[in-house]
């Protein structure tokens, strides 16, 4: 039998523990349960000190600008390559495909910021809110993140920035920043919020920090902590900046090469610590297997905002409702097939694509069709030609696409289209591919909510290339293009009070969460399935692995 453990005696030993006493005891007897617990406590203490040192180093790093190396970007106005100076990534070793994803909501709808504009003379005309911020200003933030703007497409409701490392989408009232490699996304958070605060200066906000100056507890230790917080002016400034954000989300897949990351991105808890400095009431989650592929999520609630009755905008009740008002679908894929990887390798000797390859729907003469697409630089022309070949330009109707092919390999694309939202009609999708076979990765993300009551995907002819009509058909279409060995699918959906009241009642139509929860993909086995219910949002996480052929 296993001997009983005297927990009280063990606790007393731990409380009186010192490293010197610990080493002295170990000269006289073998380890018992208390010894093992003391070792664990010491290891945890050392780990805590390491994290604290790393956090201090992080704060110092925010004030410094490291030495630079040279990389190439494309100026979106001229379309020609230019040399730029940047503290870039180590060119040696594998590239980290999985992205860091930050989404910040400063208001619920675009109309809420219609009176806000960038105050400087360089403001973009005919735009309001965050879209009035000029490109050059956003680039000052992206320099801190360590990525460059390749090109920009301006949709009716959103600006899509194609970056050297992924994408940025700027709406009037919110912003999405997605970066891969060893970019330092969270180090750019302070600059991003500073820009947003200036652009949205007319927004009704009230940053109240009474809780920092008037501690609730009379305990001396609590007062000391409050005094320390008050003396940290940078902390107060960060909280003031964070208070303009209504909702904040940060997420990423587990890294393939975490040891190559920089700044706070070396450790998930360091990333959480940075976010917690800016935002109140944040919560961090690990979704999936800790000893396998998993997805990390941080959510922050509404900032210190006082909504005045006079600022409420009345809207007609007869507007058609979308499937959901806010939905984000992510498909994160690894172990792409060799054939799929080969599609995204671009040799220097490849010819410049023709006009017909880039614009297949244009009415062209034979001479025009065979001429090089000289209106695009080679990277954009190769990217657009491949997008057409893979059918990506036909994923959704009325799509405007911006794609880039990297030499010797790699691919990125942004697309904007109407999404059918009731109050926000700005739809987008974005794709990024890292095709190195030892660390291949591809991601697909969209906020377009295909209605769950569309025709069943199983009834479609899988041999025919068709416009996806529902969530399963979209997932299968993407999977067929990239042929991953493993993948995870996450669906983040906003919920209304009316929907929450219907929980437990019979539903005439399955929701997209229900459909994803039950999703099956031919040739794949499901390895994980998790559902979360947060305040205002539901999350479904499903992972798949390709079945081995017998």
Task: Please say which residue of 267, 282, 309 terminates a domain.
Answer: 309
- Which of 309, 333, 358 is the C-terminal boundary of a domain? 309
Same domain, yes or no: 363 and 290: no
Residue 344 to residue 387: CA distance in whole angstroms:
11
Q: In what order do the strands lie in the sheet with 411-418?
A: 400-405, 411-418, 426-434, 441-446, 327-336, 484-494, 537-546, 524-533
Report the C-alpha gap between 346 and 4 in whole angstroms.
66
Whether the model clears a pTM of 0.85, i.e. scores above it, the answer is no
Q: How far is CA 125 from the centre of its chain?
A: 29
Domain identity same for 339 and 304:
no
Residue 535 lies in a domain: yes
Show pLDDT as tens, one digit a residue, over the chain (550 residues). Answer: 444 444 344 444 444 444 454 444 444 445 566 666 666 666 655 655 565 555 545 544 543 443 333 233 333 333 333 333 333 445 566 788 889 999 999 998 999 999 999 999 999 999 999 999 999 999 999 999 999 999 999 988 999 999 999 999 999 999 999 999 989 999 999 999 999 999 999 775 544 333 333 334 445 455 555 445 444 677 788 888 999 999 999 999 988 888 888 999 999 999 999 999 999 888 999 998 888 778 999 998 664 333 333 333 333 333 233 344 688 999 999 999 999 999 999 988 999 999 999 999 999 999 999 999 999 999 999 999 999 999 999 888 889 999 999 999 999 999 998 766 555 667 899 999 999 888 899 999 999 877 655 444 444 344 344 566 688 889 999 999 999 999 999 999 887 655 545 544 454 456 777 777 788 899 999 999 999 888 788 899 999 999 987 6
Query: In terms of domains, do 266 and 344 share one?
Result: no
531 is a domain residue: yes
Helix H, strand E, coil C: the string for 108-173 is: CCHHHHCCCCCCCCCCCCCCCHHHHCCHHHHHHHHHHHCCCEEEEEECCCCEEEEECCEEEEECCC
Gap between the Cα atoms of 400 and 445, Å rounded = 16
CATH number of the domain encompassing residue 147: 3.60.90.10
Number of domains in the chain: 3
Do 111 and 253 fall within a single domain? yes
- Specify if 163 maps to a domain: yes
pLDDT at 451: 63
Distance in angstroms (rounded) separating the CA atoms of residues 54 and 274: 11
Q: Is 327 found in the same domain as 304?
A: no
Domain membership of residue 39 (yes or no) is yes
Residues 427 and 471 both lie in one domain:
yes
Query: Can you read off the two tokens belonging to residue 55?
Result: 């956090």
Q: So what's the pLDDT on residue 517?
A: 77
Same domain, yes or no, for 49 and 151? no
Which of 382, 388, 432, 395 shows the shortest CA–CA distance to 411? 432
DSSP 8-state secondary structure symbol assigned to residue 227 = H
DSSP 259: G
Mapping DSSP to helix (H, G, I), strand (E, B) and coil, where does residue 522 land? coil
Residue span of the structural domain in which 346 resides: 323-550
Query: In angstroms, what CA-CA distances link 506 with 73, 89, 518?
Result: 54, 53, 17
In a domain, 5, yes or no: no
Measured distance CA(49)–CA(55) in Å, rounded = 10
- Which among 309, 331, 356 is the end of a domain? 309
Of 306, 241, 300, nearest in space to 276 by CA: 300
For position 536, what pLDDT does the model report? 82
Residue 294's pLDDT is 87
Residues 420, 288 share a domain: no
In a domain, 4, yes or no: no
Tokens of 74: 């494309």
- Among 407, 350, 349, which Cα is nearest to 81's? 407
Q: Do the strands 69-74 and 159-163 form a parallel or antiparallel pair, or are they unpaired?
A: unpaired
Q: Is residue 216 part of a domain?
A: no
371 and 443 co-located in one domain: yes
Q: Does the residue 237 lie in any domain?
A: no
Neighbours of 132 (CB within 10 A): 22
Q: Which residue has the tokens 């569309």?
A: 454
Whether residues 439 and 415 fall in one domain:
yes
Token representation of residue 407: 């030499």
In this prediction, residue 289 carries a pLDDT of 85
Question: In the chain, what are the helix, strand and coil shares in percent, each to the nearest 5?
Answer: 35, 25, 40
Residues 303 and 353 in one domain: no
415 in the same domain as 287? no
């Amino acid at each position: 039998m296993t001997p009983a453990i005297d927990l009280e005696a063990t606790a007393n030993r731990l409380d009186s523990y010192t490293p010197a006493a610990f080493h002295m005891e170990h000269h006289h007897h073998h380890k018992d349960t208390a010894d093992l617990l003391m070792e664990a406590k010491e290891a945890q203490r050392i780990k805590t000190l390491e994290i604290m040192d790393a956090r201090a180093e992080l704060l110092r790093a925010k004030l410094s600008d490291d030495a630079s190396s040279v990389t190439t970007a494309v100026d979106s106005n001229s379309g020609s390559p230019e040399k730029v100076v940047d503290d870039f990534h180590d060119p040696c070793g594998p590239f980290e495909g999985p992205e860091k994803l930050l989404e910040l909501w400063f208001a619920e709808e675009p109309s809420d910021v219609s009176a806000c504009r960038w105050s400087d003379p360089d403001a973009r005309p005919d735009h309001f809110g965050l879209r009035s911020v000029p490109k050059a200003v956003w680039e000052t933030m992206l320099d801190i993140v360590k990525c460059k703007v390749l090109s920009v497409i301006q949709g009716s409701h959103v600006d899509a920035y194609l970056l050297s490392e992924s994408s940025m989408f700027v709406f009037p009232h919110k912003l999405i920043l997605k970066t891969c490699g060893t970019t330092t996304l969270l180090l750019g958070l302070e600059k991003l919020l500073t820009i947003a605060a200036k652009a949205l200066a007319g927004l009704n906000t009230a940053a109240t920090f009474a809780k920092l100056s008037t501690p609730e507890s009379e305990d001396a230790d609590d007062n000391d902590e409050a005094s320390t917080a008050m003396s940290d002016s940078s902390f107060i400034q960060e909280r003031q900046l964070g208070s303009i954000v209504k909702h904040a989300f940060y997420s990423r897949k587990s890294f393939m090469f975490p040891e190559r990351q920089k700044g706070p991105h070396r450790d998930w808890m360091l990333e959480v610590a940075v976010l917690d400095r800016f935002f109140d009431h944040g919560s961090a989650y690990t979704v999936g297997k800790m000893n396998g592929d998993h997805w990390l999520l941080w959510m922050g609630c509404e900032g210190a905002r006082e909504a005045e009755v006079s600022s409420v905008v009345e809207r007609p009740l007869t507007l058609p409702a979308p499937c959901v008002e806010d939905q984000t679908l992510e498909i994160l894929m690894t172990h792409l097939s060799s054939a799929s990887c080969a599609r995204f390798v671009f040799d220097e000797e490849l010819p410049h694509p023709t006009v017909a390859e880039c614009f297949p729907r244009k009415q062209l003469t034979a001479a025009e069709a065979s001429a090089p697409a000289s209106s695009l630089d080679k990277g954009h022309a190769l990217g657009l030609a491949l997008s057409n070949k893979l059918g990506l330009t036909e994923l959704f109707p009325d799509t405007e696409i911006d794609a880039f092919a990297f030499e010797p390999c790699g691919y990125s694309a942004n697309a904007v289209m109407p999404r059918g939202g009731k109050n926000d009609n700005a739809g987008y999708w974005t794709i990024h591919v890292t095709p190195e076979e030892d660390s291949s990765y591809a991601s697909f993300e969209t906020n377009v909510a295909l209605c769950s009551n569309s025709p069943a995907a199983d009834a479609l002819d899988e041999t025919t290339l068709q416009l996806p009509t529902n969530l399963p058909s979209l997932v299968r279409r993407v999977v067929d293009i990239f042929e991953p060995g493993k993948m995870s699918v996450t669906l983040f959906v906003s919920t209304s009070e009316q929907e929450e009241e219907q929980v437990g009642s019979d539903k005439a139509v399955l929701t997209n969460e229900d459909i994803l929860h039950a999703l099956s993909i031919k040739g794949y086995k499901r390895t994980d399935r998790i559902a979360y219910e947060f305040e205002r949002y539901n999350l479904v996480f499903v992972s798949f692995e390709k079945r081995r052929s017998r």
